[in-house]
Amino acid sequence: MIPFTCPREKEVADLLHRGHWPQACPQALRAHVHTCRACSDLVFVAAAFQAARAQSAHVPRLESPGALWWRAQLRRRSAAIERIGKPILGAQIFALAVALVIAAGAVAWQARQGLHLVSWLVRLPQALNFDVLLPASWPHLGSGVWLLVPVLSTIALLGGVVVYLASERH
């Protein structure tokens, strides 16, 4: 179907849009609308839709705008939290993956070297002369292992506290 547009259609549409039809319409244009199918369709359809719009506008019972506004604020806030949380979660997963890879690599390397790191850790307190910090009456069972265990435990405990505080802040 090829659209037939009357050259006066825009004129009629403007009058309809401004609410000037039919009272403020020139007599010549009104006569034209009666003879032109495109223009008469336009006037007929526009009148039907305007009447329907006026009728429909009285039907709905509107919700309070304040309630909608608050619901939108809640949604904005949820979306913002989600947006903030995404990169943090990604970074945490990445850091965990890197740590696991490094740990696995270290374990594999140590296994190939014959677990020298363990014996080095045992000898570390002696190498650093931690023995002088111990009282003379202290039993020399396993030498520096007595110092190494509480130091590692303290580091692990502090690490846990730091991670807990960081996650609480988020």
Partner 1 sequence: MRWESAIPNILAGDAQQLACQPMDNETFAGFYTRSARPLWAYLARVSRDPALADDLMQESFIRFLAAVHPQDGEVAARRYLFRIATNLLRDHWRRPQSSSIEEIQEHFLAAQSGTALSDSQVMLGPAMAQMRPRDRQLLWLAYAEGYSHHEIAEITGLASASIRLLLFRARRKIARLLRQQPSNGGER
Which amino acid is residue 130, in one-letter code? F
Q: Which is nearer to partner 1, 2 or 28 (CB)?
A: 2
20 binds partner 1 (CB under 8 A): no
CA distance 53 to 61: 16
Taken in order 90, 91, 96, 97, the sign of the CA dihedral is positive
In the stretch 83-122, what mask flags binding to partner 1 with x, by CB under 8 A? xx--------------------------------------
Helix (H, G, I), strand (E, B) or coil at 44: helix
- Token pair for residue 46? 């526009």
34 binds partner 1 (CB under 8 A): no
CA distance 25 to 16: 10
Applying CB under 8 A, the span of 25-33, 61-69, 94-102, 136-144 interacting with partner 1 comes to 61-69
In the stretch 35-54, what mask flags binding to partner 1 with x, by CB under 8 A? ------xx-xxx-xxxxxxx
CA distance 14 to 62: 32
* Cβ at position 19, least distance to partner 1 in Å: 10
Applying CB under 8 A, the span of 68-76, 119-127, 133-141, 152-160 interacting with partner 1 comes to 68-76
* Cβ at position 145, least distance to partner 1 in Å: 45
Element (DSSP H or E) covering residue 75: helix 65-113
User: For the chain, how many helices (H) and strands (E)?
Assistant: 6, 0
165 binds partner 1 (CB under 8 A): no
Give the residues lining the site for partner 1 (CB under 8 A). Answer: 1, 3-5, 17, 41-42, 44-46, 48-60, 62-63, 65-66, 68-69, 71-73, 75-77, 79-81, 83-84
